[in-house]
C-alpha cells in the first residue's frame, strides 16, 4: 500500500513554521529570520519514502492585510486550508493564543484532520506546557496536540510518525525524486531576501523584492544576476551603504548560502533599483510570483 498527502503548515508569524518544515524535510528550503513576515509564498517541501510521499507546504504567517502583497500572502494561507489532507497548526510557547480566531474557525469548520504543533518547548517548563496544551484542547477539541522544538530537533520523529499514520492511501503526486515545487531561480531570490531581512532594520526588508534577471547553469558554476527592488530612493541608498559596503556584505552572504544550497560555485551580481509601488500593483506582484 502506498500513502500520499498534503500536509499544510499554518500559523501566526514567527512561531517557527519555516524552521519546522525545513527540519521535517531535511533541507533549508524556507528562509528563516527572527522577523515576522519573512515567508511570502507557499513553498512545498516533499519527503519521499519507498511507500509514501508527504508534500509539506510552508505558508506565510496569518495577518490582517494592509497592502496587496499581504492580501496575496493571505491567499496562500487560505489555499493551504482547502487542499490539506492534514493541517499542522503551529503555535509556540510564547505567543498569545487568541490572535487568529478567523483561521481557527475555518479549521474547525473544514473538518480536516488537524495536529496542533506546540513549538519552542525549549523555552518553557513542563507545567506551563501542560496548561497551554489544556487551552488548545479547548480551542480545537478534535485536534491532536504535539509539543516539539523544531530548532533542537525535539520530538520531530514523533510528529513524523503521527503524520505518516494519518496519511491517506494514494499514488505519489510528484515524481519520487522531487524535493520541491519551486525553481532554482526562486531559491536564489529567497536567499537574497533572507540576507536582506538579516542585514537591514525597520521597513526596508518589507519594501524589498528580488528579480532574478539571469540564471545560467554550467557544470562547475552558476551565474546569477539579480535586481533588488526597493520602494523609495532613500532605501536604495540604505541597501547600497557607504561606498557599497552593505550591498557587498549582502552579496557575499547570499553567494555563500547559494553555494551551500547548490553544492557548487556561484557568481552573483546584484543591482538595486527603485520601483515605487510594487507592493500594491497587481501586475508587479504577478511578476514577482504572487498569484494563486
Per CB under 6 A, residues contacting ligand GDP are 13-19, 32-34, 38-39, 61, 119-120, 122-123, 149-152
Nearest to 235 by CA among 212, 185, 280, 201: 201
Q: Within a 10 A sphere around the Cβ of 275, how many other Cβ atoms?
A: 20
- Closest approach, Cβ 220 to Mg ion, in A, equals 33
Are 132 and 103 in contact, with CB atoms under 8 Å apart?
no
- Closest approach, Cβ 97 to ligand GDP, in A, equals 15
Query: Residue with the closest Cβ to ligand GDP?
Result: 16
- Which residue in the set 4, 8, 22, 39 belongs to the binding site for Mg ion (CB under 5 A)? 39
| Cβ closest to ligand GDP, residue 37 vs residue 178 | 37
* CA–CA separation, 252 and 256 (whole Å): 6
- Closest approach, Cβ 289 to ligand GDP, in A, equals 18
Residue 114's binding partner among ligand GDP, Mg ion, none (Cβ under 5 to 8 angstroms by kind) is: none
Restricting to residues 233-292, which ones interact with Mg ion according to CB under 5 A? Answer: none
Decide if residue 18 touches Mg ion (CB under 5 A): yes
* CA–CA separation, 75 and 81 (whole Å): 10
| Cβ closest to ligand GDP, residue 192 vs residue 224 | 192
Q: Burial level of 193, CB count in 10 A (0-12/13-18/19+)?
A: buried
Residue 275's binding partner among Mg ion, ligand GDP, none (Cβ under 5 to 8 angstroms by kind) is: none
Q: Burial level of 169, CB count in 10 A (0-12/13-18/19+)?
A: exposed
Site residues (vs Mg ion, CB under 5 A): 17-18, 39
Amino acid at each position: 500500500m502506498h500513502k500520499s498527502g498534503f500536509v499544510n503548515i499554518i500559523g501566526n508569524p514567527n512561531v517557527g513554521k519555516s524552521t519546522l518544515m525545513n527540519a521535517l524535510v531535511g533541507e533549508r528550503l524556507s528562509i528563516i529570520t527572527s522577523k515576522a513576515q519573512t515567508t511570502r509564498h507557499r513553498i512545498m517541501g516533499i519527503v519521499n519514502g519507498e511507500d509514501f510521499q508527504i508534500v509539506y507546504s510552508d505558508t506565510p504567517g496569518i495577518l490582517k492585510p494592509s497592502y496587496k502583497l499581504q492580501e496575496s500572502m493571505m491567499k496562500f494561507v487560505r489555499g493551504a486550508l482547502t487542499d490539506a489532507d492534514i493541517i499542522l497548526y503551529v503555535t509556540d510557547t510564547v505567543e498569545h493564543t487568541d490572535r487568529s480566531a478567523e483561521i481557527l474557525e475555518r479549521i474547525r469548520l473544514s473538518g480536516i484532520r488537524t495536529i496542533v504543533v506546540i513549538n519552542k518547548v525549549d523555552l518553557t517548563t513542563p507545567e506551563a506546557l501542560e496548561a497551554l496544551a489544556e487551552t488548545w484542547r479547548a480551542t480545537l477539541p478534535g485536534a491532536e496536540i504535539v509539543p516539539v522544538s523544531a530548532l533542537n530537533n525535539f520530538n520531530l520523529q514523533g510528529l513524523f510518525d503521527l503524520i505518516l499514520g494519518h496519511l491517506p492511501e494514494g499514488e505519489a503526486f510528484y515524481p519520487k525524486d522531487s524535493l520541491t515545487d519551486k525553481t532554482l531561480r526562486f531559491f536564489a531570490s529567497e536567499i537574497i531576501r533572507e540576507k536582506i531581512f538579516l542585514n537591514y532594520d525597520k521597513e526596508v526588508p518589507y519594501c524589498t523584492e528580488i528579480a532574478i534577471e539571469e540564471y545560467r547553469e554550467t557544470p562547475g558554476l552558476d551565474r546569477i544576476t539579480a535586481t533588488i527592488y526597493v520602494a523609495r530612493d532613500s532605501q536604495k541608498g540604505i541597501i547600497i551603504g557607504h561606498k557599497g559596503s552593505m550591498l557587498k556584505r549582502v552579496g557575499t552572504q547570499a553567494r555563500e548560502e547559494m553555494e551551500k544550497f547548490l553544492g557548487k560555485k556561484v557568481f552573483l551580481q546584484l543591482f538595486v533599483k527603485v520601483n515605487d509601488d510594487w507592493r500594491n500593483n497587481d501586475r508587479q506582484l504577478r511578476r514577482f510570483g504572487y498569484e494563486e
